[in-house]
Amino acid sequence: MARSQWGSRLGFILAATGSAIGLGAIWKFPYVAATNGGGAFLLIYFLICLTVGLALMLGEMALGRAAGNSAVGTFRDLRGGRWPLVGFVGVLVCFLVYSFYSVVGGWTIAYIGKSFGGEILTSDAKVLGDIFNGFITDPALPLLYHGLFAGLTLAVVIGGVQKGIENLSKFLMPALFVLMLVLIARALTLPGAMEGLLYFLTPDFSKVSGSMLVDAMGLAFFSLSLGMGIMITYGSYVDKEANLLSSSLWVIALTVLTCFLAGLMVLPAVFAFGFDPSAGPGLTFITMPAVFAQMVGGQLFAVLFFFLLLVAALTSSVSLLEVVVSFVIDEFKVGRKAAALGVSLLVFLLGIPASLSLGIWSEYTVFGLGFFDLLDFLTSKLLMPVGEVLLAIFVGWKVWPVIEAELSAGARVPAWLRAMRGFCRYVAPALIAGILVHNL
């Protein structure tokens, strides 16, 4: 069977960006930045994305294109031994992330409904908090929406690489950008917004700590979809002529920009309405409705916002499912439909305890964490960094000649490629290992 291919270079960039930009940038970034003191976190997050993040994204894309295989197969083809385990961990992480991602994706669908109903159009922090908490702790409704979200993702993935993923990204990601700009204009002109803006933009380096670095790194890898074979898989669908350096620069720039815009959209409003910036996972869901309540045509904006958030989440969840499906297809030689269906079903089941742990099962904890938080911790703070270290070592030490040939095209090795080797060989392993050790 011939391997799928992207229809165009733009399609590839948009799909990779679609994978990167999602709930991580718009839901996670604002509340993690807020709980970590704002400005300094933003700066460190940027730095990580533009250095280690870039080196690793390029590494992943080059690996995938060189091998023309999915996450596990790529390691097997290029080196063998125990290395395929790294790809396997990536597939596992995708699976785990997808299960709680789909739960939050379901929230966005529910909030489209709530926007239509108009019940969330108030600036009363208490009411909005109660609505959000009432919803996520409900034993049944969030599961329904989780199933719906997983179903939508499934439909796109069955549609195949070009038709499904590419088309979705091409039209709706630009729309998301435009809408965010409109919302930022409204949020920044609210009385009291300046305090939030300063909080977000002024670095306070006394807030820098080990746990902040871990959070920044975890979020950087999470939001760039790194360390789990996604960019390997997407890279394997790219033709040999495409320039991977500029492609990955685009993906990173757009993702970082979206995080920045999400911060501008949410944090000034948090201060303007007197919400608690460390409200956690509910921050975007609680704050944005208060902004809509202050807008002419607020209901329309609310519907649009949660719809586009859903689309952003879908283009990411599609990449999560695609990696697992691609692995199952290549390893077990089953058809795309059967693979996608089976994986989706398992993800749905795993999402159930994740969702219930926010409500009726909240008393069941492991290491003091509910199942939802445990999945998040295990993936973004533990397995993804571990995957990253191994990936960096693999790229920098084990298969560097392959990477160099894949990326340099000409006879001379450009300076950026030498810098990238340095990052993969020394900086990334030292940094990530240091932080991991600190964390444990």
List residues near ligand PHE by CB under 6 A.
Answer: 19-20, 22-25, 97, 222-223, 225, 228, 230, 316, 319-320
- Please report which residue ranges of 53-140 form alpha helices under DSSP H: 54-67, 71-78, 84-117, 125-136
In the complex with ligand PHE, which residue's Cβ is closer, 26 or 112?
26
In the complex with ligand PHE, which residue's Cβ is closer, 33 or 131?
33
In the complex with ligand PHE, which residue's Cβ is closer, 22 or 59?
22
Q: How far is the CB of 175 from ligand PHE (least distance, A)?
A: 17
Handedness of CA 350, 353, 358, 364 (dihedral sign): negative
b/e 160-198 (16+ beta carbons within 10 angstroms → b)? ebbebbbbbbbebbeebeebbeebbebbbebeebeebbe
Per DSSP, the three-state class of 369 is strand
Q: How far is the CB of 258 from ligand PHE (least distance, A)?
A: 9
Q: How far is the CB of 96 from ligand PHE (least distance, A)?
A: 10
Rounded Cα–Cα distance for residues 413 and 393 (Å): 20
- Among all residues, whose Cβ is closest to ligand PHE? 24
In the complex with ligand PHE, which residue's Cβ is closer, 25 or 374?
25
DSSP characters for 202-220?
A: S--GGG--HHHHHHHHHHH
Q: How far is the CB of 19 from ligand PHE (least distance, A)?
A: 5
Q: How far is the CB of 227 from ligand PHE (least distance, A)?
A: 8
Sort residue 61 into left (φ over 0), alpha (ψ -120 to 50) or beta: alpha
CB atoms within 10 A of CB 395: 25
Rounded Cα–Cα distance for residues 57 and 244 (Å): 9
* Nearest Cα residue to 325 out of 312, 335, 316, 311: 335
Q: How far is the CB of 379 from ligand PHE (least distance, A)?
A: 8
Residue whose pair of structure tokens reads 């969330």 in the numeric block: 120
Q: How far is the CB of 122 from ligand PHE (least distance, A)?
A: 28
* Nearest Cα residue to 392 out of 24, 100, 53: 53
In the complex with ligand PHE, which residue's Cβ is closer, 230 or 358?
230
What residues contact residue 15 under an 8 Å CB cut-off, 6+ apart? 6, 165, 166, 169, 234, 315, 319
In the complex with ligand PHE, which residue's Cβ is closer, 123 or 225?
225
Q: How far is the CB of 26 from ligand PHE (least distance, A)?
A: 8
Per DSSP, the three-state class of 32 is helix
In the complex with ligand PHE, which residue's Cβ is closer, 222 or 305?
222
In the complex with ligand PHE, which residue's Cβ is closer, 95 or 273?
95
CA distances, 186 to each of 143, 179, 223, 289, 410 (Å): 33, 11, 26, 12, 49
In the complex with ligand PHE, which residue's Cβ is closer, 25 or 190?
25
Q: How far is the CB of 37 from ligand PHE (least distance, A)?
A: 21
